[in-house]
A and B are shown apart, each in its own frame.
Chain A
Amino acid sequence: MIVAGVVILTYGLILTLAPAIRYHAGLERFQFQHWIGILAWFLSFSVLHHQTQRHLPESDPYLLPLAALLSGIGLLTIWRLFPSLGLRQMAWLVLACLLGLIVVNFPRLLQFLRRYKYIWLVLGLLLTGLTIFLGTNPQGEGSTRWLYVFGIHFQPSEPLKLLLIAYLAGFFTDQLTVRGKQFEVFLPTLVVTGLALMHLIFQGDLGTAIIFMLIYLAMLFTSGGSLWVFWLTPVLIAIAGLAGYMLTDIVQLRIDAWLKPFSDPTGATYQVVQSMIAIAEGNLIGTGAGLGSPGLIPVAVSDFIFSALAEELGLLGIAAVIVLFFLLIYRGIKIAASTNNSFYRHLSLGLTFYFGIQGILIIGGNIGLLPLTGVTLPLLSYGGSSLVVSFLGVLTLLTISHQPESDNQTKTIPLPRYALIGVILVLFFIIEIIGASLLSFWFSPALVDRPENPRWIIDDRFVQRGEIVDRDNQTIITNTGITGNFSRTSDHIPLYPVIGYTDPVFGQTGIEATMFNYLRGKIGYTFATQFRQRLLYNQPPKGLDVRLTIDLGLQRSADDLLEGYQGAIVIMNAASGEILTMASHPYFDAAYLQEDWDTLLVDETAPLLNRATQGLYPPGATLFPFIIIDDALISTQLQEPEDRLTVKTADLNCALKPQKPLTWQSIIANGCQTAQMTVAADVGSDALINLYADLGFFTSPQLHLPVADAAASNTIDLNAFFSGEGNFKLSPLQMTMAVSTLSNQGVLPGPRIVNAYNDPVEGWSTLPKLQANVETFDAVSINRVNNLLRQSNYPYWQVVSTVMTEDQQPVTWFIAGTSADWQGQPIATVVVLELDAPSLAESIGRALIEEAIQFLGQAQ
């Protein structure tokens, strides 16, 4: 008893300190509320213990401490989850102890149970029957198994268990003098149990129904029913299960969820999966009371209290709880064996079976070993009726254990029979311990990493994530708020389509998603640090900052210029593939994601999309410079346009009108689509497909961002290869990489948006590129094209093009790159506008590439 007290005190103390650790704060976060519960627990059990010692000195000395410990752990766990429910559970506990006092003081009461067994049973059945008409549900909806009396919700099926056990015990005792084993003798019990079962099934309380059936069969067997009862039990359960599966949705749902727990982890199997994840989180010694997040498990206080315990106390904690249960069963059977009164023996056996079967069913359901049944874990779970009844059960056992030996009744139950049932119950508990250990060790990593595990969201609120900074370490994304309430804030909102959002409901995108492990300190820290943080705080270490290749100044200019239009801009260092600017308009503000989500989703302009990597546009006449790479006649200007092109100038279909006299430079720079088609047809489709493949048009770029799948060459119309229209589409990023080859001696750069992370020991450490640079073309042909396109007064070349999409939406491209003889860092720029505005695209693009050249080209 004293040991139990120490355990509860320690638990309480941990709960007091835990919030302070979680918040990394001091005294002000200590939690003291639950000490009321501990005090009530202490008082109740001291009185009860004292009274038992006085009135039942010969009674079993271990039962009461067992029950006290279990209910104490239950009470504090409930308090830790929901303090208000804890307070109510405490009130129920005190009430249960008071009722217990009556039982202890008047042990003769038990005889009344036997004598008036029919009256009691009918009363119980009537009360349960009332729920059909007057039933309510404390949660307000769902099944109506409760009665609402004097402001208290009360579940009559709980005391019915006790009454049924008492009735059966009484009945079997009376029948035994006859010693008949015929079926007719047991008919009345069958009728009564059947009645109770029918009622429960009608109410949808199938878990309790199964318990009734099992208790009945077990009692029938131990009272001298023949052996076939024993073998019939699994058959009956199978039949009942099958019938339930066929007839009721809920049983079907539960059994399906049991057989395939991961088939629908957000819907039908949500509860089981969450429960299993919680057990996996617990590992060996648990996250520590008050440090885990068992609140994430649905109905954690009653049905899933075992999983809640598992998360915070770990495998060792729950193994102890299971052992406590089977000690309880052992003592129960022991009492049954040692009493000489037949009625008491049956009664104590029935009660023992009740604790055992109900415990096994719900624990098995929690760990996914058995189908889930919505019953409580006796003594531990929240629920007044259940707690009171469990207590009365324990105290009845206690009273029976005190009965003086009376030798006038014969031992009629053969010991091996109930020993056999006892062994079966214990075996089930052992299997459950094994099942739980598999979850906590073998399957733990897989379960913890499941996408359904939402614990990282809690961690995000308690631990600072890494900042996201630009190439000069200017903050883009940082954390605001205090511990327990951290959130993300952006210094440059238009960048959100690239950075992405993090939301408990909608998930993650962009850099936030791809750099998840760095931003949350899962990579970079040593195993020892990680382990220490988990062990002490159950939190990851502070996140690591991530540096992007974005230049915030240039990015701001790009976003200012693009403001009000739909489109995308990518500016890239053509040599290194570093993305200096990536704009996508319209954009969204992740800070108001929850409020705006519904509008954002249906918005036809798709603000959530990162157009630069996920938008696909037909390239149109921007393909021209690439088509002539191998055409020495054009690129060296040996052939005049008039000689090659048969169409008239007016039909060239240019984005901007080319100046006279016509030169190849002006035709290409102004996006003359018909001219491109003529030249492309000469090159031929096979050669073009090879060229486009070399430019990476058919492969998705690899970088730390989600990208759209590249077009597959074999699905595209041949004509589209010439015109750049139709179903041949490119993302702005792909185009930027291709443009880079023209300004970078024919090398196709691998793109890069994430530059480095701030390692806790090494400082800023560069992350490798996901895609390497590839030497694609020989520099001579590339530089020929570059020279052909160069403008007289500017150090860069450019192409403007307009094109129609398949659904007749205009798209304007502007592509530009530094000249071959430019001494600074080569720059590639791509602007896409979702409207027909070549002049606008040109002015935006020119302003940006000039700024880029000015600030970065000479920055070396």
Chain B
Amino acid sequence: MNAVVVLGLRIFFLIVLYGFVGWISFIIFKDLQTLFDLKRSQVAPIVLSVIVNQESLEKQYTKSEIILGRDPDCDLTIADETVSLRHCKLYYHHKQWWVRDLESTNGSFINNTFIESPVVVIDGDELKLGKVPITIRFDQQVR
């Protein structure tokens, strides 16, 4: 009799244990799902086109943070001496693209306005790093 009770308890123990595991796993699953959804839906693809040394370059980005600069490690490398190693940063925040200067030597300009604090950029804006102009376009179709 006792043995049957204990068998029941053993099974109950396993069920509760798995309930606990399952509950946390479920929450993690939900969590991951929203994370991926966020990534997929939120970041609007951005296209940067630049002409450096008579060479035209156009790149599309889907990540939420883009570093521009002369350093080869940057997301967009611009080999121009008026551009600092890490010059400025484009980042996606609250469903908008922002640009922030990373204390560059020659400064960053949006539509010829010096960037002091982060500003929102829109389709067709011209971003200037030192003396290099960069055109910003958003890929509307994906959106």
A interface residues (Cβ-Cβ under 8 A, vs B): 3-4, 6-7, 10-11, 13-14, 17-18, 20-21, 26, 62, 65-66, 69, 285-286, 288-289, 291, 313-314, 316-317, 320, 323-324, 327, 330, 334, 411, 535-537
Contacts and interface: CB of A to CB of B under 8 A. Distances in A.
Contact of B2 (A21, A289, A314, A327): A21
Interface stretch (B5-13, B48-56, B135-143): B5-13
A316 B28 contact: no
Contacts of B16: 3, 6-7, 10
Nearest to B14: A316
Nearest to A26: B2
17 contacts: A7-B20, A11-B13, A13-B9, A14-B6, A14-B10, A17-B6, A18-B6, A69-B20, A285-B10, A286-B10, A288-B7, A289-B13, A291-B6, A313-B13, A320-B21, A324-B21, A411-B65
Contact of A536 (B7, B14, B25): B7
B6 A327 contact: no
Nearest to A29: B2
Nearest to B65: A411
B19 A10 contact: no
A21 B20 contact: no
A66 B13 contact: no
Given A13-B9, A285-B10, A320-B17, A3 B3 contact: no
A7 B17 contact: yes
B7 A62 contact: no
B27 interface: yes
A536 B1 CA distance: 10
A180 to B, nearest CB: 12
A21 B3 contact: yes
Contacts of B25: 323, 327
Contacts of B19: 3
A337 to B, nearest CB: 9
Nearest to A1: B20
Contacts of A7: 13, 16-17, 20
B23 interface: yes
B20 A17 contact: no
Classify chain B: how many residues form its interface, as a range.
Answer: 20 to 34
Contacts of B2: 17, 20-21, 26
B6 A288 contact: yes
B10 A536 contact: no
Contact of A62 (B14, B17, B24): B24
B4 A317 contact: no
B18 interface: yes
Contacts of B12: 10
A819 B3 CA distance: 61
Given A62-B27, A536-B3, A320 B18 contact: yes
Contacts of B7: 288, 535-536
B21 A323 contact: yes
A356 to B, nearest CB: 16
A69 to B, nearest CB: 7
A592 to B, nearest CB: 36
B21 A14 contact: no
A289 B65 contact: no
B5 A66 contact: no
Nearest to B3: A536
Contact of B24 (A13, A66, A314): A66
A330 B28 CA distance: 9
B88 to A, nearest CB: 13
B9 A3 contact: no
B80 to A, nearest CB: 21
Given A10-B16, A17-B2, A316-B14, A327 B9 contact: no
Q: Which 9 A-B pairs have the closest CB atoms?
A: A536-B3, A10-B13, A3-B20, A21-B3, A320-B17, A7-B16, A17-B6, A14-B9, A323-B21
A286 B23 CA distance: 23
Given A21-B2, A21-B3, A411-B65, A14 B24 contact: no
Interface string B56-67: 000000000100
A99 B10 CA distance: 34
A327 B24 contact: yes
B28 A327 contact: yes
B14 A285 contact: yes
A317 B3 contact: no
Contacts of B11: 285
A320 B14 CA distance: 9
Contacts of B18: 316, 320
Interface in B78-132: none
Contacts of B21: 320, 323-324, 327
Contacts of A6: 16
Contacts of B5: 17
A11 B18 CA distance: 14
Given A7-B17, A289-B10, A327-B28, 18 more contacts: A7-B16, A18-B6, A21-B2, A21-B3, A66-B24, A69-B20, A285-B11, A291-B6, A314-B14, A317-B14, A320-B14, A320-B17, A320-B18, A323-B21, A327-B21, A535-B7, A536-B3, A536-B7
A161 to B, nearest CB: 26
Nearest to A13: B9
Nearest to B10: A288
A62 B3 CA distance: 34
Contacts of A313: 13-14
Nearest to A10: B13
Contacts of B14: 285, 313-314, 316-317, 320
A303 to B, nearest CB: 23
A826 B14 CA distance: 65
Contacts of A291: 6
A14 B6 CA distance: 6
Contacts of A4: 20
A7 B11 CA distance: 11
Contacts of A17: 2, 5-6, 9
B131 to A, nearest CB: 26
B13 A14 contact: yes
Nearest to A6: B16
Nearest to B93: A407
Contacts of B65: 411
Contacts of A330: 28
Most buried by B among A7, A11, A288: A7
Contacts of A314: 14
A21 B9 CA distance: 13
B14 to A, nearest CB: 5
Nearest to A410: B89
Contacts of B17: 7, 317, 320
B140 to A, nearest CB: 28
B13 A3 contact: no
Contacts of A320: 14, 17-18, 21
Contacts of A334: 31
